[in-house]
Amino acid sequence: MVPLHPQPTAGRPDLLRWIVPAGTLTGTGPLARVPAALAALLTDGTLAGVRLEAAAVVTRLGPGRTWAEDGPRVRTALHTALEDPAGWIVETGADPRDEDAVLYGVVVDVLAGQTGDFVRSHGGGIDLVGVRDGVVTVSLRGACHGCPASWLTLQQRLERRIRQRHPALREVRDSAAPSGGPLRAGRSSRTRNG
């Protein structure tokens, strides 16, 4: 049995991220096909959507459903579905706006979690300005605004954490940088996975 545990999504009570070991499933994004156990929950309206992240299965409840009532059925279906890795087919040619919506949700979660806590503990803040074509634009405030080390916080903390959950991230930009450019002039903000 593949281990998994649920993680709530800030501001989205209808979503649960089910954390699975990295490499359990391949691909990210909306799914064209899911194993029968999950397909049954989509058909009966228990779930309104399922998508993959690098180390999570994100489930969205159908209208009028609650995690208290339907969560155990979803967990059981996920355990069964994870035993069938060939049954998970990622949708190809998905609308890029869908990917941006997924990325937006990941950034909101990351900023609400440990990365945001770290920034807030230093008297600063990072606000999400927008997401477009895989590029995340943020605005720095408080102690972070104008801080010479802010690029390090953005690159080593924020961008790295986002990329762990959404490998398709292109870059993180500071809205105050000239032309909304990368974190440091003349240098890409991309990090290498390693």
Burial of 119 by CB count in 10 Å (0-12 exposed, 13-18 middle, 19+ buried)?
Answer: buried
pLDDT at 193 over 50: no
Residue 189 has pLDDT above 70, yes or no: no
Burial (CB count <10 Å: 0-12, 13-18, 19+), residue 42: middle
Please state, in angstroms and rounded to a whole number, the distance separating the CA atoms of residues 151 and 128. 15
- Model confidence at 180: pLDDT above 70: no
pLDDT beyond 90 at 18: yes
pLDDT digits (tens, 9 = 90+) for 116-140: 888 999 898 898 888 888 899 898 8
Q: Characterise 181 by phi-psi region: left (phi > 0), alpha (psi -120 to 50), beta (else).
A: beta
Distance CA 103, CA 162 (A): 8
Q: What pLDDT sits at residue 38?
A: 92
Q: What is the pLDDT of residues 42-89, one digit of tens each?
A: 989 999 889 888 788 999 999 999 999 999 999 999 999 999 888 888
**Which has the minimum average pLDDT: 32-41, 74-83, 101-110, 183-192?**
183-192
- Strands 135-142, 171-174: parallel, antiparallel or unpaired by DSSP? parallel
CA 182 – CA 194 distance, rounded (Å)? 21
Neighbours of 56 (CB within 10 A): 23
Q: What is the DSSP letter of 72?
A: H
CA distance 59 to 67: 11
CA of 149: how far to CAs of 39, 97, 143, 144, 159, in Å?
A: 48, 32, 10, 8, 14
pLDDT at 27 over 80: no
At 98, the pLDDT band (50, 70, 90 cuts) reads low
Q: Which of 143 and 165 is assigned the larger pLDDT?
A: 143
Q: Are 105 and 14 in contact (CB under 8 A)?
A: no
Would you say residue 93 has pLDDT above 90?
no
Look at residue 65 in the predicted model and tell me its pLDDT. Answer: 94
Cα–Cα distances (Å) from 193 to 54, 69, 94, in that order, read 13, 39, 25
Average pLDDT over residues 145-168: 85
This prediction's pTM: 0.53
